[in-house]
Amino acid sequence: MSPKNVRAFRRSLLHWYRCRGRDLPWRGTRDAYAILVSEFMLQQTQVATVMPYYNEWLRRFPDFASLACASENHVLHAWQGLGYYARARNLHATARAVVDRHGGRFPRSIEAMQQLPGIGKYTAHAVASFAFNQPAPIVEANTARVLSRILNFRRPIDQTAGQKALWQHAAEFVPKRSARIYNSALIDLGALVCLPRRPRCGACPVKRFCRAINPKTLPVRKFRPRTKRLTEKHAFVVRQGKILLEQSAARWRGMWILPSLRTSPANQQPIYKSIFAFTNHHVALNVYAQRQHKFNTYSQLWIRLDSLEAIPIPSPHRRALQHLLQPDRH
């Protein structure tokens, strides 16, 4: 696209954004900490899910210093229900690194940001533009889709060469002075108009610039992750007002789950079954009533039933506990 058309594209996009853009809580702040929190929470998670967590998180941990001082247990508990807990651990580690290495102030340089735990190219560019208004391009799901379509970009975006080329195109579009608003507008266009399966081209403010021939086929990806099915078996052991739980060392590291069983108990039906999604897995959770599960002093603990609310438990296991501990359950 010529520089003149790029400028006209931005004008149309920004005009639309001023009338139709979303009013999101993290858009009203320039605080790098609050913006970083929103960026971590929004990875793989929808805006509507993030909203209540974002406000509550800032109430509990208003800045890097307060988060750096918190225990991991406390941090995981606050993140409970959002999933992908590595994000919480990375955010926690980043807060500690900002306090230790940068005196509590988030660095302004994109290179320095990328030295912090869990901060990759996209997150660093997002904070640079949203907090510091630096002319940094961003390529995430929404902007990748919009740019691929506008440019009829047909190289696979999950391959290094395609990704690199798309970042270069994104850099050609980003304005020098108002990257903050421009990047927000591009994200909103992808979220509200240029939708994955049903792009609303008739209502699109930048339609006249769009070269997409068949937008639904864009962006191109070489690999589509296949969904894998797993079955996980766990024990439900309650005794004298306490329940046996195990501290996960794997997927939910540091959080408390029902004790794992290697095999399904013979001649026994599960007392609780559910299915949950985790990355590209569909996991069937089967829980079996057990009288005495092997006690592993390293990872398992008897926990009082009235203190379950205070400990971090991942959502699929918390739902199982809520169901199994209902007083009127037969």
> Which residues of the shown chain bind ligand SF4 in the complex (CB under 6 A)?
146, 149-150, 193-194, 199-201, 204, 206-207, 210, 212, 215
Minimum Å gap between C-beta 20 and ligand SF4 is: 13
Q: How far is 76 from 81, CA to CA, in rounded Å?
A: 10
Q: Which is nearer to ligand SF4, 150 or 174 (CB)?
A: 150
Q: How far is 133 from 129, CA to CA, in rounded Å?
A: 4
Minimum Å gap between C-beta 195 and ligand SF4 is: 8
Q: Which is nearer to ligand SF4, 38 or 148 (CB)?
A: 148
Tell me the DSSP string of 66-125. Answer: HHHHS-HHHHHHHHTTS--THHHHHHHHHHHHHHHHHTT---S-HHHHTTSTT--HHHHH
C-alpha torsion sign, points 308, 305, 319, 281: positive
Minimum Å gap between C-beta 211 and ligand SF4 is: 8
Q: How far is 112 from 202, CA to CA, in rounded Å?
A: 43
Which residues, in sequence order, are CB contacts of 311 under 8 Å at separation 6+? 73, 77, 245, 256, 303
Which residues, in sequence order, are CB contacts of 215 under 8 Å at separation 6+? 149, 194, 199, 201
Minimum Å gap between C-beta 222 and ligand SF4 is: 21
Minimum Å gap between C-beta 308 and ligand SF4 is: 47
Q: Which is nearer to ligand SF4, 170 or 212 (CB)?
A: 212
Q: Which is nearer to ligand SF4, 201 or 275 (CB)?
A: 201
Distance set, CA 80 to CA 56, 66, 88, 150, 224 (Å): 12, 18, 9, 38, 29
- Catalytic (active site) residue 39: yes
Give the pair of three-digit tokens for residue 1: 């696209």
Active-site entry in 39, 111, 172, 246: 39
Contact (Cβ atoms closer than 8 angstroms) between residue 237 and residue 290: yes
Q: Which is nearer to ligand SF4, 149 or 317 (CB)?
A: 149
Residues classed as catalytic: 39
